[in-house]
Structure 1
Amino acid sequence: MTNLFFESGDLGATEAFLSAAYTPMQIGGRPADTRARISRTAVGGLSVDRLSFGYTMGYDAGCLGKVCLVTMHSGTIVDTTGGREEVFGPGETFLLAPPDRPYEGQVREARYTITMFDPRLLGRVASAPAGRDVRITGPRAVGPAENRRLGAAVAYLRDHVLDDSGASADPDGLLVSTAAQHLAATVLCTLPNTAREDAPAPRDTRDAHSDTLRRAVAFIEANAHRDITLADIAASIPVTPRAVQYAFTRHAGTTPLGHLRRVRLARAHADLRSADPSGHATVAGIAGRWGFAHQGRFAAAYRQEYGVAPSVTLRSG
């Protein structure tokens, strides 16, 4: 895990830090209040930054090379790329700029969160064909509910994964990789993108039979401890990812990743039962080992599945 912190009232120092941390940029304006505060937590290709500027700052920046999501807490950001003027305010989570394009605009006395990840993760989660990129085609979520969902995914990553307790519970990186896939999947479900426009092929339906389900379940059971995606499950059979999705929907009433989550919950249950309650095992440590970062959500899912709190199972082990 990497942690960075910057605080300064010097515009030149702020410009140098932003250029090093993101992409070369120039800051415009000469405000009276030049306070800037920036912190970064990064691990496994993910980064979450908290930024606060006490002034209006113009910027002209190069390509980021990453998916860059901004969640506004106060103030506004005005995007003026390409001559347009689009204003983003508190409560919005949006794409700042396509990974391969420069961008410009203004930060107006704003406090916000920036979340960045490799754009190739979108194609991996969407199971796009080799050599075919998945691109986000608009900055805003497709609706208010989708905006809230995207903001919640960012908050989950910021507050429950990329923090000290989350990192200590994730020595093998499963928690971070699972959270990254969840964020990328949420982006694909909430922002306009090319993957949403793909139509299913006839063979997807033809291959969605019970044998596909059986082989997919076997692969998940054998690899639940690893960082696996829908594409990995499909390749093990082999069929298309959509065929796997249809097979689970038709024959199991769930999704492949939903089944993976249930298998990991069962493995966490087994570890809680076998752990020595007088030893060093903790509910958080065992949950993190199986990719569950949010303890409240893990406890709720566990109680729903097993009828007791995970701490009860650990104490009775």
Structure 2
Amino acid sequence: MLPAPHTRPSAQPVFEPGVLRANRLFESRDLDDTRERISRVMQPHELRPLARPQAGARSHMDFVRIGGIGLGTIDFGEAMRVDVDHVEDYHLLMFCLRGSAQAQANGRTILADTHQGMVCAPGHAFVADLSPDCEQFVVRLDRRMVEAHCGRAITFDSALDLRNAKLQAWIDQLRVLATSTTLVDAAQRNPVIATELERLLVLLLLEGQTWTDDAPLLRNTDTTRRAPAAGCVRRAESFIESHAEEPLRLADIAEAAGVPARTLLDAFKRFREISPMQHLRDVRLDRAHALLRDARPGTRVASIALDCGFAHLGRFSQAYQQRFGEAPSATLGLRD
């Protein structure tokens, strides 16, 4: 049994998620309806009130999807137990915007509130007893997306300390996603931007949160033993040449090459002395250089950068300068 959740004076929330408030998924006074609505964007689960149901208690959920990231708030309006048999194919992160919860994940019991939260790994059970005033903030990170951006299978530590200085950059980025309507709108319109936001959020979490490397699970597969390294590099390069302008992730390239991501990384390091993503960047830069050199009058650098798969103009300009020794605008100016 979990300890009873504590009702304590509300602390200052980590942030007020304005974007989510504008994307209310539902409001309901019916527990079965609430369970069904949440299950559509998360997964099947059980809900059990921890006290006599309150007359007029209203639940709600806000939810936004950005690529492989899901952000949501959930408030049941009363003390509630949430019981998930196993988290499906995603990493579940949860803390409280207000109130508190006793959560059990990955075999550990953790107090979640406005200062600390928890992480539940894919495939593990999750149980939480929520205080009557609890509003959860949940982050759903698709497993395949996480592996695509870090190149391996990983498990995050269960305890999420929101006061950890190393985690502040991740929290700041999470705050931006939850409060900037223009950024979310841009990411939902442009898959390249969505992929870059995925990458940033995952890398910042890796930087600030303790994690375990599960890469051996990727290396010890039949595919790894069968595939010759040089062959997988050639297949990856061919795929990159044909799809360079698309919002590719490491997992996409590895899948096309027919090997796990770790195998492809090791093969590129051995045969090319760079990573697949660095090769992708170089292919994109070479294409941008050729297009800028032959561009028609009135062509904008930003348009060519986007056409070649670069979502961030500043980083494109910096990489271009390093590779070709001049700014993109200088190449464009020399087209005649």
TMscore range, shorter length = 0.5 to 0.7
1:257 to 267, 270, 277: 277
Percent identical residues: 21
Report the Cα distance in structure 2 between the residues aligned to 1:227 and 1:135, rounded to whole angstroms: 22
Q: Deviations over 1:76-109 (max 9, x none)?
A: 4430469853023446574245445353332674
2:315 to 270, 285, 301: 301
Whether the 8 Å contact between 1:33 and 1:54 is mirrored in structure 2 is: no
Is residue 116 from structure 1 mapped to residue 130 from structure 2 by the alignment? no
**Bigger CA radius of gyration:** 2
Secondary structure in 2 aligned to 1:86? strand
How far residue 65 of structure 1 moved from its aligned partner, in angstroms, is 1.8
How far residue 304 of structure 1 moved from its aligned partner, in angstroms, is 1.7
In the alignment, what sits opposite 2:13? none
Report the Cα distance in structure 2 between the residues aligned to 1:113 and 1:162, rounded to whole angstroms: 19
How far residue 259 of structure 1 moved from its aligned partner, in angstroms, is 3.0
Task: Name the CA shift for 1:52/1:122 in 2 (closer, same or farther; >3 Å).
Answer: closer
Task: Name the CA shift for 1:59/1:253 in 2 (closer, same or farther; >3 Å).
Answer: same
Is residue 87 from structure 1 mapped to residue 111 from structure 2 by the alignment? yes
In the alignment, what sits opposite 1:5? 24
Secondary structure in 2 aligned to 1:65? coil
Task: Name the CA shift for 1:38/1:248 in 2 (closer, same or farther; >3 Å).
Answer: same
Is residue 224 from structure 1 mapped to residue 248 from structure 2 by the alignment? no
Q: How does 1:108-147 map onto structure 2 within 5 Å?
A: 109=133, 113-121=137-145, 134=153, 136=155, 138-140=157-159, 147=167
How far residue 188 of structure 1 moved from its aligned partner, in angstroms, is 7.2
Whether the 8 Å contact between 1:58 and 1:105 is mirrored in structure 2 is: yes
Report the Cα distance in structure 1 between the residues aligned to 2:273 and 2:112, rounded to whole angstroms: 39
Structure 1: which 5+ residue stretches go unaligned?
129-133
Task: Name the CA shift for 1:238/1:119 in 2 (closer, same or farther; >3 Å).
Answer: closer
In the alignment, what sits opposite 2:81? 59
Q: How does 1:232-311 map onto structure 2 within 5 Å?
A: 233=253, 241-242=261-262, 244-246=264-266, 248-249=268-269, 254-264=274-284, 267=287, 283=302, 292-293=310-311, 298-307=312-321
Report the Cα distance in structure 1 between the residues aligned to 2:181 and 2:332, rounded to whole angstroms: 22
Q: How does 1:69-218 map onto structure 2 within 5 Å?
A: 69-70=92-93, 72=95, 74-75=97-98, 76-80=100-104, 85-90=109-114, 94-96=118-120, 98-99=122-123, 101-106=125-130, 109=133, 113-121=137-145, 134=153, 136=155, 138-140=157-159, 147-148=167-168, 151=171, 163-168=184-189, 170=190, 173-176=191-194, 180=198, 192-193=211-212, 195-196=214-215, 216-217=236-237
Structure 2: which 5+ residue stretches go unaligned?
1-21
Report the Cα distance in structure 2 between the residues aligned to 1:217 and 1:160, rounded to whole angstroms: 37
Aligned residues: 296
Task: Name the CA shift for 1:160/1:94 in 2 (closer, same or farther; >3 Å).
Answer: farther
RMSD: 5.4
How far residue 265 of structure 1 moved from its aligned partner, in angstroms, is 5.1
Report the Cα distance in structure 1 between the residues aligned to 2:23 and 2:216, rounded to whole angstroms: 39
Task: Give the letter for the 1:222 counterpart.
Answer: S
